[in-house]
Structure 1
Amino acid sequence: MNADLRTAEHPTNKVLLAIFWIYVLVPLAWGVVNTLSQATKLFR
């Protein structure tokens, strides 16, 4: 059964996975950068 799932994989799955990770990581990175910039303002 697992072999059938592996052969049914299409390149579009990798594209969707990449879009998902971009959707997750971009706001996360933006939040981290904003948090660090706010923190550095506190210590100036």
Structure 2
Amino acid sequence: MPNDSSPSPRPDRRPLTAFAWLWVGAPLVYGLYELVQKATQLFTG
């Protein structure tokens, strides 16, 4: 059994993480923007 003390390199997941944040964050930001607009219309007439 070989004793390899160096850890195996892990793949760079930063692009996937950024894409996942955009996938969730963009609709969230849009929804919050729409919510603020509708609430403003509701309370200001």
State the TM bucket, normalised to the shorter chain. Answer: 0.7 to 0.9
Structure 1 unmatched ranges of 5 or more: none
d(CA) in 1 for partners of 2:21, 2:10? 18
Q: Between the two proteins, what is the percent identity of the paired residues? A: 28
Q: Secondary structure at the match of 1:8?
A: coil
Q: Secondary structure at the match of 2:10?
A: coil
d(CA) in 2 for partners of 1:23, 1:29? 11
Shift of 1:40: 0.2
TM-score, normalised via structure 2 length? 0.71
The number of residue pairs the alignment matches comes to: 39
d(CA) in 2 for partners of 1:10, 1:21? 18
Structure 2 unmatched ranges of 5 or more: 1-5
Aligned Cα root-mean-square deviation (Å): 1.8
Choose between structure 1 and 2: higher helix proportion. Answer: 1
| Aligned structure 1 segments of 4 or more residues deviating by more than 2 angstroms | 7-11
